[in-house]
Amino acid sequence: MNRSVRWMRWFAVGAVVALVATACDGDDGGGGGATTGGATGTTADLSGQTVEVAATWTGAEQDNFEQVLAGFEDKTGADVRFLSAGDDIAAYLGPKIEGGEPPDVAILPQPGVLQSFAEQGDLVPIDDVAGDLVDENLGPGGRSVGTFEDTLYGVWFKAAQKSTVWYNVNVFTDAGVQPPQTWDELQQDAQTISDFGVAPYSIGADVGWPLSDLFENIYLRTAGADMYDQLAKHAIPWTDQSVKDALAVMGDVLGNSDLLAGGTQGALQTDFNGSVTQAFTDPPQGAIIFEGDFVAGVITGETSAQVGTDADFFDFPSIDGSPPAVMGGGDIAVLLDDTEGGKALIQYLATPEAAEIWAGLGGFISPNRNVPLDAYGDEVARRAAEAFQEAGDSAVYDLSDLQPTEFGATTGQGIWGIFTDFLQDPSDIDGTAQQLEDAAKQAYGSS
């Protein structure tokens, strides 16, 4: 017995030592596995490898992007996994980066997110990977969208032309109204559509970014591009009279609950996809959607309406004689993990070939200059893409997307959160401007 006890004692000691040793091993093992080898072309054989890509797209947009990824799979033999990141991609990627297990590639919906990630050193520079492809296909303007402090981190893959207003053609016909050219005509049309029996404005204010896009389009027209640029840099405060004026104009749309599909409370609980589909159901619950070209993708993917016959867009109306102006945004592919598969996917996304797949499916504008207009699947998308290309360098970039993440792109906070509050009380213009300024100060002060 004594012997067995002694044996057990040594066994126990050994086990503990082994355990501690394993624990240490585990600690050391994480950082290994350096990847070697230079950048290979997208024609590299990657069969057996898995590439993970995270994006905020859902529904039809996700399906279309997966078609693009399928093109990559066919070409390289790699297996691509699409990870759905939800609306708040920074919150999704943050823990994964901290945990050392980021997806290979992420599609960031805002340059602001790219900047804050690049600033913290979480992105892999891609000058050597795709610099030439970017110069060749996107040009200097496109390069700057993916650049932080003179280093290229992102490939601008998808552009958004956000100065479009979509409408249900059948409701317009039945109500006997024409697509408006000016803000006043829009108000009249909206009233007539309401008299006809349909709530005109369909707004997805659940998270608030459609509201911030509406504000930006109004501000661009009431204050002009110069003021717009200054506000984007926070060179003028959000309490500036120009902001208050734009908020007052915004009240024309948001101020009357009867003009909103589902009323104010309904709009607050409708997400963007819901705001599009409810305007094209039978019977339609709304008629006018203030959002970018990507609305077409949702119409095609999630409703039975046909873009071009049942659904169409008009340019965001001129306010008090303002000249035509285009506000754009986009999605940028970044490399989070320096892997062969990830690099190959980044290169692939910079090619016209990848963009043409989605262009053919609809709801997509490519910033890629080498994508011909006839690659677009339908006439409506071609028109939106043409307007975007014509605007060229005069187009302004989505203002909220340029802000620090916590101010410009966080659910329930900053611009998004304050605009959903504004929808609940559109008469509180001064208070809203003050809240925006307070939040901006905090975001700019802390970064």
Partner 1 sequence: MDEAPPSGEAPAVATAGSATPEASPGRTKPSRRRRPSVVALLFLLPGLVLLGALVVYPIFFSIFRSFYDRTGDAFVGVDNYQRMFTSSATRTAIKNNLIWVVFAPSIVTAIGLIFAVLSERVRWSTAFKVAVFMPMAISFLSAGVTWRLIYEENPDQGLANATARAIVDTFRPPGAYPGARPSQDDVVKPEGQGYATTTTFASGDTITLGLFAIPPEEIPPEAQTAAPPEPADGAIAGTVWLDFTTGGGGTSGEIDPTEKGLPGVEVQALRGSDVVASATSDAAGRFVLSDLAEGSYRVGLAGSNFREPFAGISWLGPTLVTPSIIVSYIWIWAGFAMVVIAAGLAAIPREVLEAARVEGANEWQVFRRVTVPLLAPVLVVVLVTLVINVLKIFDLVLVIAPGSAQRTANVIALQLWKTAFGARDFGLGSALAVFLLLLVIPAMAFNLKRLRAEEG
Binding site for partner 1 (CB under 8 A): 1-2, 5, 8-9, 12-13, 16, 19-20, 23, 87-88, 90-91, 94-95, 98, 116, 119-120, 173-177, 192, 194-198, 205-208, 258, 262-263, 265-266, 268-269, 271, 283, 404-406, 410-413, 416-417, 420-421, 423-424, 438, 442, 446-447
- When the beta carbons of 204 and 367 are compared against partner 1, the nearer one is 204
Taking the complex as a whole, the smallest distance from the CB of residue 253 to partner 1 amounts, in Å, to: 16
Q: Backbone phi, then psi, for 390, in 5-degree steps?
A: -65, -40
- When the beta carbons of 98 and 128 are compared against partner 1, the nearer one is 98
Q: For residue 188, how many other CB atoms are within 10 A of its CB?
A: 12
- When the beta carbons of 187 and 230 are compared against partner 1, the nearer one is 187
Dist. CA 397–CA 401, nearest whole Å:
8
Query: Is the C-alpha dihedral spanning 50, 56, 62, 67 positive or negative?
Result: negative
- When the beta carbons of 128 and 195 are compared against partner 1, the nearer one is 195
Q: In the chain, what is the straight-line distance between the N-terminal and C-terminal CA atoms, in Å?
A: 68
Dist. CA 424–CA 433, nearest whole Å:
15
- When the beta carbons of 192 and 306 are compared against partner 1, the nearer one is 192
- When the beta carbons of 8 and 70 are compared against partner 1, the nearer one is 8
Instruction: State both tokens at 22.
Output: 């394993």
Task: For residue 260, give every residue at least 6 positions away whose Cβ sits within 8 Å of its Cβ, in sequence order, or none.
Answer: 199, 201, 202, 203, 254, 266, 267
Taking the complex as a whole, the smallest distance from the CB of residue 336 to partner 1 amounts, in Å, to: 14
Establish whether the linkage from the previous residue to 283 is cis, with ω within 30° of 0. Answer: yes
Q: For residue 360, how many other CB atoms are within 10 A of its CB?
A: 15
Taking the complex as a whole, the smallest distance from the CB of residue 362 to partner 1 amounts, in Å, to: 27
Taking the complex as a whole, the smallest distance from the CB of residue 93 to partner 1 amounts, in Å, to: 9
Instruction: State both tokens at 422.
Output: 């504004």
Taking the complex as a whole, the smallest distance from the CB of residue 372 to partner 1 amounts, in Å, to: 38
Which has the closest alpha carbon to 311: 235, 238, 378?
378
Taking the complex as a whole, the smallest distance from the CB of residue 342 to partner 1 amounts, in Å, to: 21
Instruction: State both tokens at 126.
Output: 């891609």
Dist. CA 72–CA 171, nearest whole Å:
41
- When the beta carbons of 377 and 426 are compared against partner 1, the nearer one is 426
Which helix (DSSP H) or strand (DSSP E) does residue 439 occupy?
Answer: helix 429-446
- When the beta carbons of 55 and 68 are compared against partner 1, the nearer one is 55
Taking the complex as a whole, the smallest distance from the CB of residue 351 to partner 1 amounts, in Å, to: 31
Taking the complex as a whole, the smallest distance from the CB of residue 398 to partner 1 amounts, in Å, to: 18
**Largest separation between any pair of C-alpha atoms in the chain:** 101
Taking the complex as a whole, the smallest distance from the CB of residue 332 to partner 1 amounts, in Å, to: 17
- When the beta carbons of 142 and 200 are compared against partner 1, the nearer one is 200
| Helix/strand/coil percentages in the chain, nearest 5 | 55, 15, 35
Q: How far is CA 13 from CA 3, 17, 24, 387, in A?
A: 16, 6, 17, 75
